[in-house]
Structure 1
Amino acid sequence: MASSKQQRTDPTTIAPKSRTGSAKKNSGRPGVRPPKAPKVAKATARDWIGGARIQTLPLAFAPVALGTAAAFVLRLDEDGVGWHWLRALLCLIVAVSLQIGVNFANDYSDGVRGTDNNRVGPRRLTGSGAARGRTVITVAFVWFGIAAIAGIIIVVRSGHWWMLAVGAVAILAAYFYTGGKRPYGYLGLGEVFVFIFFGLVATAGTTYVLADTVTVESWLAAVAVGLFAVATLMVNNIRDIEQDAIAGKRTLAVMIGNLPSRIFYVVAMLVPFGILGAFTLLYVNAYLVFFVLLSALPACVIVLTAKTAPELILALRLTGLTALLYGLGLASAIAF
């Protein structure tokens, strides 16, 4: 039955008439581009590598390095615990795979919601149309699968079966950051979850898997690296604050405003160096890690003064570099 309402037609979508007076044929397929719409280049290998957001991977390396170092110093205990190279490698695979997986899942979810339509940073695979959303989310689940397989091997080798639940919650948290009907990343809770999973769980969890215990060093390092994860997410959200507000993505940056977000970032970047002061009382070479301030302080200055997206992208890279150098440097000071 025909609708009683008259359907409006967009005049820009009507095909021009030919000389014989008949309209040009449309293919009839959904998603056909208007004649003047620019064609989007298909995603290249470089685009897929960019989709993995390599600059965020220090958030995976740093906690595993610190958690491993905290366990490594226990290697001379009478129980002989503290060093299992295979378990340490598997922990790194879990952390890296989860980080890449959440990046692709975020690309997909923000893309299909339209959140990335007006973004000012590097183009996203889904939002730009360079790759099909189904392909992007499939890649995300492949990485989640790799993390799950590595996690299962850890559980089998360590005998801590209850950690299967921790791994499952970590994967669910990675997906529902921007996925699902009510993603917590749209409710200002992203920083809380990255602190928990890329700080506390990743660092203390690595120590526990290797040494069957969690030490004071591990907890302190977990807080420090968790704050770097928070700073990384915050600077990314500061860059997109206007676009996220328009799209209805209520990140913590959107909720508290521009200037408070920038101050929050600086605090998150500098508190780990206060924690470092405690490590200098325990480990003779820990003071050398203060040289990492050479990358942390410029990042703070940029975030406080930045007026353009490229400046904040540079700050994002410096934040990742700071997290990596801090994690590897402190891990070396603890272990050696």
Structure 2
Amino acid sequence: MFPVVKHLKPTATDATRLVQRAQAAVQEGLLRDGYELISQALTLFSSVCGVLHEDVCVCLRLLGRLSYILGEYADALSHQEKVVMSSERLHGIDHPQTIQDYTHLGLYCFAGGQLSISLKLLYRARYLTLLVSGEDHPQVALLDSMLGLVLHGLMEHELSLKFLQNALNLTSKYRGATSVRLAHSHHLLATVYETKGEFRSALQHEREAYSIYKSQVGENHDSTKESSEYLKSLTQQAVVLQKAINHFYSDTPGACVPPPKFSSPSLLTIIQQLNLTCGIILIPISAKDVADLRKGRKRQDKVQVEELENSVAKAEQRHRTTKLNHAATIEHCFSCLTSENDR
């Protein structure tokens, strides 16, 4: 347990503006530019406010997230470790932000190939969530889905099914029977059952997922199409398995039936499912698109600079006009006073 450090919260205006510019750049797809701006803001915040500060923690969190999106898992892990240590001391061990930071640290560890450490971190995040809110909470559904996927990658199928089934029950309770998240939970269970060779259960869950996708997003959506293709693949594997079982128990001689091939989960597939579970959707952008975005941003900055210069010039012109009018008024008053004195 760590005590919460209570202190004043000074900030740096220039660094805050850099963070705002970085957020605008990231929204336009310029991730590298946003990363550099946040790095500059982190340096300013650290110099002005000190290392143990909320703004420093926010910058490190953003740097870790951008590094993860860019595929630089080692940098993401390094930044997120600092975030967790700072968040424990700033917010406390049982704060929701600290739990979320532990969750993202577990995600980055899994992407970096540290599967066992990722599992321990997610277990800790789940333990802290149970301390704060109990088992009947939507956050537990998220963590159980992630734990089920990590255990699936470690080939712990029975334990994986327990966590995924609990996540399915909680998602159905809080999201409803027609939620897209519930469809994703059904799909995760289907993949684990497929690896175990239990194609009947896998088909049952994937049919539920396909039905939800079809009713919510339509037949032409990518998720619906992927679910349909996966259903066909499961059906074919189930037919091959049944033929092999029938041939094994039959006494009639015949051609040898090839045994079914059980798929094993790949690290990349599980990372993609973890991203979907956490709400991270990666959209590929080509180098040409990035160059076009930068050109558009430069043109936009140039237009903004020109507008600012024009507004400054107009303000200076109004100021000069006001000074001239003021000088003319003073001169007129002085001439009036002089004429009265002459009289």
Q: Fold match, TM over 0.5?
A: no
TM-score by length of 2: 0.31
Q: Normalized against structure 1, the TM-score is what? A: 0.31
Greater RCO, 1 or 2 (C-alpha within 8 Å, sep 6+):
1
**Which one has a larger percent helix, Structure 1 or Structure 2?**
2
